[in-house]
Structure 1
Amino acid sequence: MFSVRRFTVYLGLAACFLFFTLGYFRDGIVNTAKAKYPSQLSTVTQPSGQVPAPSASLKTSRFKWETVPIRFPVKDPTPLPTAPPLKLPQVQYHFPTETTEHEIKRKGRQAAVKQTFERCWKAYKQHAWGHDELGPLTGGVRDGFGGWGASLVDNLDNLWIMGMKAEFEDAVKAAVDVDLSTSTTETINVFETTIRHLGGFLAAYDMSGDQRLLEKAKEFGEMLIRAFDTPNHLPITRWKPQAALGGPQEADETVLVAEIGSLEMEFTRLAQVTGQAKWYDAVARIIRLFDAQQQRTHLPGMWPVVVNAKEADFTQDTFFTLSAMSDSLYEYFPKMHALLGGVDPIYKKLYDGSMATAIKYNLWRPMTPDNADILISGNVRATDQQLARLDPQGQHLVCFAGGMFALGGRLFDQPAHVEIGKKLTDGCIWTYKALPLGIMPEVFNMVPCESRLTCQWDESKWRGEVKDRNTDSNDIDHLITTHRLPKGFTQISDTRYILRPEAIESVFILYRITGEEYLQEAAWDMFTSIINATETHLANAALSDITFSREQLAQGNTGGTTQMDSMESFWMAETLKYFYLVFSEPDVISLDEWVFNTEAHPFKRKLPA
């Protein structure tokens, strides 16, 4: 996916932590997508990294990844579970018949979201058709995801959901013509390619039944499984296809845990719809390793951000988080339970163990001026449980955790987890409202309360933390003013908003689970705030700084525009999809029938007959 400069000289675990805390800046360009690691976006002006095919022209469709021999065949593949799916607890709230007034308001808001999507799709089609991303300010293109039409494939299911069937047919024709014998990037991010492309084709197939989409999903699967062709069958997560075709390969010593631990939904769904166990086998062995080592890490129950795939050792690092670089590892535990119909108890075991640890060490209540009863998920450095230290940091990306806890609480019949999910989601809603544009920043810090049960605002304590975290002045009032810190925030270390979906994702899931009306109102406030700040003459743009007020923006007192020429594929594929669905009828992509991958692609759940 990304044109990633591979870690040719790994700087060790401290370097990975440094990348994390700096918020992944690289040359001022947005370079994290959903998955949470440092990277560099490439453009189509870069030379194409062509993948040589044995005895076949690179420009011909005759090249097939399925013809590339496997050097390290699996002797005893893990079979796909065949037991009848269990009757799992109902996830969605039993919504009563809505009033006419509510229906009119809801449909009006849904239409507004669809109008935004249509506008962005039209701009993409006119200016960047077939490319990975549109530049929303210039109309230029970026091809940092292999040049395989990331925005095209990522939005196939959205076109179907929104009833844009003619546009869907046009997009399918273009998407199935993507040529995997060439790439605009030398290095392929296996995780990103899996969640966006493989996931995108599978979801669109699940919805439409179009066989062309399944065939293309299999083609991507055949390519991606070659990254697993190593002596221990663990994947090379930043993979060079040229090297794979040139000789034997082995997994890397330094791998981000989300990249190796978040492939199972897509590979499992591919196995389910094709009946071919090899896809399931590829990811099942990874999950067994997580299971075997869950209690052997420095923070038992959770796994560190950095793991060693070459040695199959997931225990050595000391940095633990639900946030960037780890997130979807944990997100997939309850979702895989649903996808498999509850027939494999391993996913409940992994969820129960990891969430018990996260609740104890990672979740914290921030001190706020209104004494809000909310939670945020932070980071922990731990050499052992007695020396676990919390960094009270919040991230927009970790807002997914509210939906994860709520979904896990329903699927595993743990009401306390639904309540935790509510407080985490409310924490993200609060943070949106606290900023002058009504938009949450990428990374920030606040003062953690000593107790989650009661917490009173202490102005002097807040001011003292502001001074401790910002050392460029001894004048606290000056620090608060120059860093534009709303009350409660001690530091905003990454002021961007890159059109992320995680907050609205949890609002949507929690609304479908609880039916609480305030969540639809919160969603509408978020949507209008985002559109007001990000809309361009073409589409919508990421923002470099959301700490300025509307008045400062209007007066030009920002040192230049805060809009950036970046609109990642997840803006339409995830953010707008979740906004659309939160205002849809509850039976549209019901959570009792579908389960979303981390790129918001819905897969059909296995249900009892």
Structure 2
Amino acid sequence: MAILTARRRFQRLALVAAVFLTAYLLLRRTSHIPPHEDRRRVKYVAASFDWAARRPTHPVDKATMTRMPPGIPRQLPRIQHEFTQDELGASHNQTQRARRDAVRHAAERSWRTYREHAWGRDEIAPLTLRGQDSFAGWGATAVDSLDSLWIMDMKDEFQHVVRHVATIDWDKPTSSLCSLFETTIRFLGGLLAAYDLSRDRVLLDKAVELGEMLYAGFDTPNHMPANSFNFRAAKEGRLAAGTNEASAAAASLSLEFTRLSQLTGDPKYYHAIDGVTRALDKTQDSTKLPGMWPVFVDLKNDFLTPGHGFSLGASADSAYEYLSKMHALLGGLDPVYEKLHTKAMATAKQHLLFRPMLPDSPAPAPAPAPDILFSGSVFASGTGEADLNPEVQHLACFAGGMFALGGRLFGDDGDVQTGERLARGCAWAYGAFPTGIMPEVSEVVACQTAGGEAGGGGGNLAACAWDEARWEQHGKHPKPFASVRDSSYLLRPEAIESIFVLYRITGKADLLDVAWQMFESIRKATETELAHSAIKDVQAAGETVKTDAMESFWIAETLKYFYLIFSEPELISLDDYVLNTEAHPFRVPKPGDGSLRADISRAM
């Protein structure tokens, strides 16, 4: 009997274990979160205000809510160059590893200084070593740098930030309002990308909390986003979209909100940004420069576009950047993004892009002027006239990567070449100044041609002869610069961003040397005792004057792009990820990708 009883006990224990094992496997199969994740390992503090429970003033009818386009993601064209073993030989890799390690060292010392002197604050002032809050005090540098820490294999520091993220209370800001745009690209984008890389559930939970809050920014009479996000007004449903809002602020929420819908299965985030997309589509051909949208738009009155100013620079930039990237993130299932992108790029080529008037290289090594382009700004009358201002904004240097990426996605080799000319233009501008860094805003003497080059699309893209007298009319800036309106460098990433994208797309090895020269120039000009700082004047011949500023994008973007260009091409492949305007990588759904199929199906 004793033997029989023991056997029955064993059978019962085995049955109980089988039940628990079956339940565990079922939960594992039905969840899109890997089972090893356990939120209990960190102290999780839920936000003290439940934005999900807030009753909207202008509710959306769930029956008519726009959902993500159905279907299996298309097989998109290959974006990255197929690197051969010869291209990635031993000596090549050894050089790039040394360069990558130098970048990592700069990131480590910058991060260490932030952690030791400004932990939990938005930014560190690298000279006075004071913490400061520019983005509501939730720790912008920490959250923005999360995926950089992961990518650079600083995993202990990554886990330290995760523990901090778990305790963020979005209802305890240091100011009465925040920018919907900045909070989305830095905080929400940072959390989503870090989740896509690590699959740590804490990050997604906090992203959902934040997403619920930011979604309230669309609770306006016409459901256009209110970029000036006043916390009290948002809680009370009193937000309204602006009448003179930056087009980038309105149209650069789509990647983050779409990825949040993909990961949670809640379509409301995608529905919110789809309204902006449809407004872009409706107005694209009726602006004063058809094909593009003015820098500032009237969102309050149903997306009016009366403005005369057009640019790929400040306040407009990422509105265009996100079009091709949304095409990729949606697996090519919504044709509107290809249409919006190709029309906008055609208009930009015709009116905004221009070739600078350049001298040939002098003896003893004479060479023809480089084949480069810049993107300026345009004042359009609406009657067919468009006056080009040949300004060069560092912010607009992202355009090289944008043209090249769109060219690959949409089968336009000419746009890839245009992208390369733009990327090399900004790299050339770096070398034109004593510090080896281009200024924030300058103006060059542009070529003036009547007919334009074959296939160029505009009258400002063809080469022209150097005219010394014409340049001298503007003063004695480096050739061919006519003026320098803002001579600072703010640790910005846009120039290296385009060089990185063009290297990954074309495989041209000389771009690695271009990137290294840029990094070395930036390192020398911005290095402080413990970190790196923005500088006052890139024209300084000797020691630079530091301005005691280090925004979160220094680690999140600039150093990340430098690190990636010197790393193996498989690390954050452009075929596997799209990077938001803050360089946060979101995983691209693909046919047969089991790790994402559950995410996508939940959003249908």
Does 2:332 correspond to 1:342?
yes
Give, as a single letter, the amino acid of the residue that structure 2 aligns with 1:568. E
Counterpart in the other structure of 2:9 = none
Q: Hey, what's the Cα distance between the residues in 2 that align with 1:529 and 1:290?
A: 40
Q: Hey, what's the Cα distance between the residues in 2 that align with 1:60 and 1:223?
A: 13
Q: Deviations over 1:116-149 (max 9, x none)?
A: 1011111111001111000010100110100011
Counterpart in the other structure of 2:231 = 241
Counterpart in the other structure of 2:248 = 258
Match of 1:453 among 442, 445, 462: 462
Q: Hey, what's the Cα distance between the residues in 2 that align with 1:146 and 1:114?
A: 28
Counterpart in the other structure of 1:181 = 171
- TM-score relative to the length of structure 2: 0.86
Counterpart in the other structure of 1:34 = none
Counterpart in the other structure of 2:395 = 397
Does 2:522 correspond to 1:530?
yes
Counterpart in the other structure of 1:65 = 51
Q: Hey, what's the Cα distance between the residues in 2 that align with 1:319 and 1:269?
A: 31
1:61, CA displacement in angstroms?
A: 4.4
Does 2:579 correspond to 1:596?
yes
Q: Hey, what's the Cα distance between the residues in 1 that align with 2:58 and 2:253?
A: 20
Q: Hey, what's the Cα distance between the residues in 1 that align with 2:478 and 2:126?
A: 29
Match of 1:435 among 417, 433, 436: 433
- 1:557-572 equivalences in 2 (<5 Å): 562-572=545-555
- 1:44-193 equivalences in 2 (<5 Å): 61-75=47-61, 76-97=64-85, 98-193=88-183
- Structure 1 range deviating more: 177-186 or 498-507: 177-186
Q: Hey, what's the Cα distance between the residues in 1 that align with 2:68 and 2:166?
A: 27
Q: Hey, what's the Cα distance between the residues in 1 that align with 2:324 and 2:522?
A: 30
1:63, CA displacement in angstroms?
A: 2.4
Partner SS for 1:537? coil
Give, as a single letter, the amino acid of the residue that structure 1 aligns with 2:290. P
1:245, CA displacement in angstroms?
A: 2.2
Aligned residues of 2:48 and 2:171 also touching (Cα < 8 A): no
Counterpart in the other structure of 2:415 = 417
Partner SS for 2:469? helix
- Structure 1 range deviating more: 454-463 or 197-206: 454-463
Counterpart in the other structure of 1:321 = 311
Percent of aligned pairs with the same residue?
Answer: 50
Counterpart in the other structure of 1:444 = 442
1:187, CA displacement in angstroms?
A: 2.0
Counterpart in the other structure of 1:284 = 274
Aligned residues of 2:67 and 2:271 also touching (Cα < 8 A): yes
Does 2:509 correspond to 1:509?
no
Q: Hey, what's the Cα distance between the residues in 2 that align with 1:419 and 1:274?
A: 38
Does 2:539 correspond to 1:547?
yes
Q: Deviations over 1:511-531 (max 9, x none)?
A: 000000111000000000000
Aligned residues of 2:357 and 2:465 also touching (Cα < 8 A): yes
- Structure 1 range deviating more: 406-415 or 183-192: 183-192
Aligned residues of 2:394 and 2:494 also touching (Cα < 8 A): yes
Partner SS for 1:224? helix
Does 2:371 correspond to 1:373?
yes
Q: Hey, what's the Cα distance between the residues in 1 that align with 2:403 and 2:47?
A: 45
Give, as a single letter, the amino acid of the residue that structure 2 aligns with 1:458. D
Count, aligned residues: 525
Match of 2:207 among 193, 217, 222: 217
Match of 1:486 among 459, 478, 482: 478
Partner SS for 1:445? strand
1:385, CA displacement in angstroms?
A: 5.2
Q: Deviations over 1:160-202 (max 9, x none)?
A: 1111111111111002211111111222100000000000000
Q: Hey, what's the Cα distance between the residues in 2 that align with 1:314 and 1:267?
A: 23
Does 2:288 correspond to 1:301?
no
Q: Hey, what's the Cα distance between the residues in 1 that align with 2:79 and 2:135?
A: 34
Give, as a single letter, the amino acid of the residue that structure 2 aligns with 1:455. C
Partner SS for 1:386? coil
Q: Deviations over 1:380-424 (max 9, x none)?
A: 000125221000100111000000000000000100000000000
Q: Hey, what's the Cα distance between the residues in 1 that align with 2:159 and 2:419?
A: 38
CA RMSD of aligned residues (A): 1.2
Aligned residues of 2:355 and 2:463 also touching (Cα < 8 A): no
Q: Hey, what's the Cα distance between the residues in 2 that align with 1:259 and 1:378?
A: 20
Partner SS for 2:501? helix
- Structure 1 range deviating more: 450-459 or 82-91: 450-459
Q: Hey, what's the Cα distance between the residues in 2 that align with 1:549 and 1:78?
A: 56
1:251, CA displacement in angstroms?
A: 1.7
Larger of the two Rg values belongs to structure: 2
Give, as a single letter, the amino acid of the residue that structure 2 aligns with 1:184. T
1:306, CA displacement in angstroms?
A: 1.1
Q: Hey, what's the Cα distance between the residues in 2 that align with 1:274 and 1:60?
A: 18
1:354, CA displacement in angstroms?
A: 0.6
Give, as a single letter, the amino acid of the residue that structure 1 aligns with 2:380. A
